[in-house]
Structures are given as C-alpha cells and as structure tokens.
A and B are shown apart, each in its own frame.
Chain A
Amino acid sequence: MHEQMPAPVAITEIVEETPSIRTFVFDREIAARPGQFVMVWVPGVDEVPMALSSPSSITVQKVGDATAALFAMHEGDLIGVRGPYGNGFTVSGRTLAIGGGVGVSPLLPLVTTGQADTFLLGARTASELLFADRIREAATLMVATDDGTAGHHGFVTQLISRVDLADFAQICVCGPEVMMAAVLAILDREGCAERGRFSLHRYMKCGVGVCGSCCTDPHGLRVCRDGPVFSGDILLGSEFGRYARDATGSRHRV
C-alpha cells in the first residue's frame, strides 16, 4: 500500500464545451490509459469519479451538488485528485468508438492518441455534441441527434447498421446505460458481444476496490477496480441495463 492522498491541482482553464458540459484543465499531468478515471475532491462538498478527458483534464456535466460546485469554480482554484484508477480501454487493431452525452469524455483519449478509427457520436441536440471537431480531425465521424438538428435523426445506436462490425477488433462504448445496453443487444445479435468494451457507471465511494459500493451482480465485479471497462460477454446476463445501486446500496432501475 503506497500513500495515495488526493494531489492538489489548480484549475488553469475552463472550457465551455456545450451548454451543459465544461472541461476543467489543471496544472498537472496524470499518466493514465484511455478510460481510466480519477476521484475528484471538490473541497467542502464531495468527492466524485470523473474520467480523464486528457492527461490534465476532466470534462464534466452539471447534474448535482459536486458538479454544480465545480461549475462555480474559477481559474486558480484548487481541487484534489486521486488516481488514476480502474483498468481503462486496452485496444489493439482497428477500433470503433460509440459515445453518447458526457460519456464521450473517457473515449476522447483513444481519439487523441490515434487509437480510434471510426467514431459514432450521439447527443440530444446539435449544441450538445461533445468534442465533434476534435474527433473529426483524427477519425471517421458519424453523428446522430435525438431531435435531428445534426446528422442522423435518431439514436446513435441506429448508426451501427452503417458500419461493418467485422472491420473492428473492438468496439469501445460509453454513454447512458440504456444506450450502452442497446449497443450490447446489437453486438449480441451480431454474435460479437465479446468485442464490446463498455465503460460502466456505478456509485463509487472509495475508488480503490475495498468498500463494495460499486460491486455488480452476479460476479461481484468492482467497477472501480475490475472495471470500469468490461467486455460485453461478461455483461450479458448481468445487472447491466437493468438496475444499479445508489449511495445506500439500494437497487434502482436504470
């Protein structure tokens, strides 16, 4: 056991990515694999898991107390980060990435390191499409919006029929759980669930695999330590897409 106290980092830049999503750049690089996360300490409020969108940034959607407190911060303010934690995406060969909403954040390092070949990007509406320009520079980009304001009018899952899944050694996915579950159902139907790499979201308190708050059924896998990225075949028949636990450990539908 080596000391892993939160490292103090100063926010050096705040980028408004979409009306609801901001990137917080900090003054320290964290050597991490794409898909790994950090526990972000917002002093006086809470500590929450956030994917690294680059070695020195997190990209955050405002959804509650901790994220609202982050949105109220300014350049120069200090936060704490522990990590990187989790397994991340390990890829070899051609990679298809499928991202929705703020779930694009952990996939961006795959793009910036040249490891994503084709990217299916979804959002509710055109202004909420995250990182579209940066993805277009480095990969083949296909877009879908729920309201049809950009790209395909409909869900990002409907773009899958436009690519040949056989072309890709793995399919890396992150987004709302219903969207990821829909992707898994398609991969299962096509007989390639084991090539899916899904980054899960579960309630995390410790981040290091001891408290049990992020454990999933039926294998008792810890999302913080054994994940957050799991291959699709492991998720078939699991709680994924059906329920998750909240801070008390009670189950809720997803």
Chain B
Amino acid sequence: MVTLYPGPVEVGGIRLRNHLLLAAGILGTTGASLARILASGAGGVVTKSIGPSPKEGHPGPCLIVVDGGIINAMGLPNPSAAFTEELAALQGEPVVVSIFGGTPEEFRTVAGWFAGRASGLELNLSCPHAEGYGAAIGSDPALVEECTRAAASYGVPTWVKLTPNVANIGEIGAAAERGGATAVVAVNTVKAMRISTALRRPVLGNRFGGLSGKAIFPVAVRCVYDLYEACSIPVIGCGGISTADNVVELMMAGASAVEIGSAVIDDIDVFSAIAKDLYGPDGVDAQEIVGCAHA
C-alpha cells in the first residue's frame, strides 16, 4: 500500500493536522467529545450540523446498525446558537462548524454566529431525511449556489457537503464552486430504510433515513471521482472509510482529505489506527496520488 508523508496539510483554506477529519454529526454535539477525537489523532473535526433554531430531532428509533453500516434518521437535533458555548474550549483547534438552513437567508444567519470562531464552515446541503433542509436544497443547483454565496459572504473557508442522492453530483459541485465554496465534501448518507417484519412497520421513527458505513464506500468513490472532473476546488471524500487503504483509494479518485464517521462504532480510536498505517517517514507527498486514477 502507498503510505503518505506525515504532517499538517491545508485543504480548502483550512489547516489540518493530517488528512483525516471526523465527519459531521458523529460525536459532534459537545466540545468535549470533539476534543476527545482530536486528542485521539484526528487531523480536524466537523461538528454536528447547527441550524437556525433549536431542534429535538425525529422520534426514535433514530439509528439502527445493519450489516455493513448504519441507517440514521436523527433529524438534525441541535441547540442552535447556544452551540457557540461548546466551541469555547476549542479555540485555535482545527474545528469546522457544520451548518444548515432552509433558505439562503438562514444560512447567512447561522454562518454569522460561527464565522471567525472556527477554522471554517461546512454547509450541510445533503441530509436526506430532514424535510425542507439538507438534500431538499442540495438537489437544486441554483439554490446550492445561493446558499453557498450567502455563507461564503463572510470570507471564511466554506466547504459544501453534497448528497449522493442526485442524478448528477458534478453539476451540484460546480454550482457550489460558483457560489464561492473553497471545497466540496462528498458524500452524505444514501437514502435507505428497513422494515421490522414482526411489527410490519418501518423501524426508524422517521420511516426512512440515510445509510452510512462500509456499504456506501463504492458510492463515495464514484462521487469523488465525478466531482474531481467537474470542479477545480478540492474535493473531500467521505463515506464508508474504515482503513488506510480506503483513504488512499479515495485520494486516487480525487480526494485531498477525508472525513470518517461510522467507523468510530467499531473503534473510537480509528483515527490513530488509520494514521498508523497511512503515514510513514518515507511516504509520498499526497499531491502525487490525489486524482491519479484519472490519468
């Protein structure tokens, strides 16, 4: 396997300790849990998605573990502006605040709370199971461009996270780039559901949710590959990564860094475990492999 030379990197305007970030919504509700993941070897962390008003999320079950993955329908629970308190202890750390809204104006409002208080923003235009938010906006290129422009207006690094639940993800990535995104992140979860045969009803309180984990890794590879062709800003890969070889593969598809979420279910120290295999003093510069599969 290819190994990489260790050390800090800069991706989409944000300086990271290594190429491995914690994905949004995984252990991202509190400053202390984000600090724990940073201490355990992540190069950066993305927070839970924060929106314009406090939300309790969907009724349970909110999450089920299935073969090869997780299906969740959390429903974007978040404390809204009160989340700024959680960031207090993380000043100067590589923290990206994930935000969501229902309109460009809401994105501007929420972005304003965090601009300057974190390393950058990640726009959630991709959650598949929150009505009026996320993927409802993220499948319309014109809205993606407007929401991105609203948040990017603060001049802080602005990443846009995309949904794989569209026919042409490259078109959406290009819209984010026109709106001023400094990077695109792919992918959020893939629409999915399970039914309890004994109870004869969908298991999740929201009926359907989003699949993450190993099962969606091939979807992530394909989406990153498409975005690398469609955009000239960096692509950040996300979806089903659980090994260093997965990281290398996504980089070869075009990712400049990666986000890891569901894999913490098997090992909360997955970041240091992957870093141990991924980095070595005689490793190559990541630039040498990013997008190399497009040759």
Determine whether the beta carbon of B214 is less than 8 Å from that of A219.
Answer: no
Determine whether the beta carbon of A248 is less than 8 Å from that of B203.
Answer: no
Contacts of A3 in B (CB 8 A): 65-67
Known contacts A45-B59, A78-B198, A211-B72; is-contact A5 B30 (Cβ 8 Å): no
Q: Which of A44, A205, A209, A220 contacts B77 (CB 8 A)?
A: A205
**Looking across the interface, which residue of chain B has its beta carbon closest to that of A220?**
B36
The reply on B11 being an interface residue by CB < 8 A is no
Known contacts A46-B60, A205-B57, A249-B79; is-contact A4 B65 (Cβ 8 Å): yes
How far, in angstroms, from A215 to B26 measured CA to CA in the complex? 11
Contact with A along B12-38 (1 / 0, CB 8 A): 000000000000011111111111110
Determine whether the beta carbon of B196 is less than 8 Å from that of A211.
Answer: no
Q: Which of A1, A208, A211 contacts B214 (CB 8 A)?
A: A1
The reply on A176 being an interface residue by CB < 8 A is no
Determine whether the beta carbon of A5 is less than 8 Å from that of B203.
Answer: yes
**Looking across the interface, which residue of chain A has its beta carbon closest to that of B89?**
A218
Nearest-Cβ distance from residue B50 to partner chain A, whole angstroms = 9
The reply on A247 being an interface residue by CB < 8 A is yes
Q: Which of B34, B54, B60, B69 contacts A250 (CB 8 A)?
A: B54
Contacts of A216 in B (CB 8 A): 30, 32
Determine whether the beta carbon of B67 is less than 8 Å from that of A2.
Answer: yes
Determine whether the beta carbon of A6 is less than 8 Å from that of B264.
Answer: no
The reply on B199 being an interface residue by CB < 8 A is yes
Contact with B along A77-107 (1 / 0, CB 8 A): 0101010000000000000000000000000
How far, in angstroms, from A247 to B201 measured CA to CA in the complex? 25
Q: Which of B34, B35, B59, B63 contacts A46 (CB 8 A)?
A: B59
Known contacts A1-B213, A220-B33; is-contact A211 B62 (Cβ 8 Å): yes
Contacts of B264 in A (CB 8 A): 209-210
How far, in angstroms, from A206 to B57 measured CA to CA in the complex? 12
How far, in angstroms, from A6 to B60 measured CA to CA in the complex? 12
The reply on B87 being an interface residue by CB < 8 A is no
Known contacts A220-B32, A248-B79; is-contact A39 B59 (Cβ 8 Å): no
How far, in angstroms, from A205 to B76 measured CA to CA in the complex? 12
The reply on B262 being an interface residue by CB < 8 A is yes
Nearest-Cβ distance from residue A101 to partner chain B, whole angstroms = 23
Contact with B along A240-252 (1 / 0, CB 8 A): 0000011111110
Q: Which of B30, B67, B199 contacts A212 (CB 8 A)?
A: B30
Determine whether the beta carbon of B62 is less than 8 Å from that of A205.
Answer: yes
The reply on A48 being an interface residue by CB < 8 A is yes
Interface size class, chain B? 35 or more
The reply on A217 being an interface residue by CB < 8 A is yes
Determine whether the beta carbon of A215 is less than 8 Å from that of B199.
Answer: no
Contacts of B261 in A (CB 8 A): 210
**Looking across the interface, which residue of chain B has its beta carbon closest to that of A5?**
B64
How far, in angstroms, from A44 to B207 measured CA to CA in the complex? 10
The reply on B266 being an interface residue by CB < 8 A is yes
The reply on B68 being an interface residue by CB < 8 A is yes
Contacts of B196 in A (CB 8 A): 5-6, 8, 80
Nearest-Cβ distance from residue A238 to partner chain B, whole angstroms = 9
Contacts of A210 in B (CB 8 A): 26-27, 63, 70, 261-262, 264-265
Known contacts A205-B77, A206-B72, A209-B268; is-contact A249 B30 (Cβ 8 Å): yes
Determine whether the beta carbon of A247 is less than 8 Å from that of B57.
Answer: yes
**Looking across the interface, which residue of chain B has its beta carbon closest to that of A45?**
B59
Contacts of B68 in A (CB 8 A): 1
How far, in angstroms, from A252 to B205 measured CA to CA in the complex? 26
How far, in angstroms, from A217 to B29 measured CA to CA in the complex? 11
Determine whether the beta carbon of A249 is less than 8 Å from that of B77.
Answer: yes
The reply on A37 being an interface residue by CB < 8 A is no
**Looking across the interface, which residue of chain B has its beta carbon closest to that of A209?**
B265
Q: Which of B25, B79, B85, B203 contacts A6 (CB 8 A)?
A: B203
Q: Which of B36, B63, B78 contacts A206 (CB 8 A)?
A: B63
Determine whether the beta carbon of B64 is less than 8 Å from that of A4.
Answer: yes
How far, in angstroms, from A246 to B82 measured CA to CA in the complex? 12
The reply on A41 being an interface residue by CB < 8 A is yes
**Looking across the interface, which residue of chain B has its beta carbon closest to that of A238?**
B32
The reply on B61 being an interface residue by CB < 8 A is yes
Contact with A along B199-210 (1 / 0, CB 8 A): 101010100000
Determine whether the beta carbon of B199 is less than 8 Å from that of A43.
Answer: yes
The reply on B74 being an interface residue by CB < 8 A is yes
The reply on B100 being an interface residue by CB < 8 A is no
Listed by A's residue number, 25 A-B pairs whose Cβ atoms lie within 8 Å are A1-B65, A1-B213, A1-B265, A1-B266, A5-B194, A6-B64, A8-B196, A41-B60, A46-B205, A47-B60, A47-B205, A205-B63, A205-B77, A208-B63, A209-B27, A215-B30, A215-B32, A217-B31, A222-B27, A247-B77, A248-B55, A248-B80, A249-B29, A249-B48, A249-B79
Taking A8-B196, A80-B196 as given, write out 10 further A-B residue pairs in contact, using a Cβ cutoff of 8 Å, ordered by the A residue number. Answer: A2-B67, A209-B27, A209-B265, A210-B264, A212-B29, A213-B29, A220-B34, A247-B57, A248-B56, A248-B57
Give 5 nearest A-B pairs by CB, closest first. Answer: A47-B60, A220-B36, A8-B198, A212-B29, A220-B33
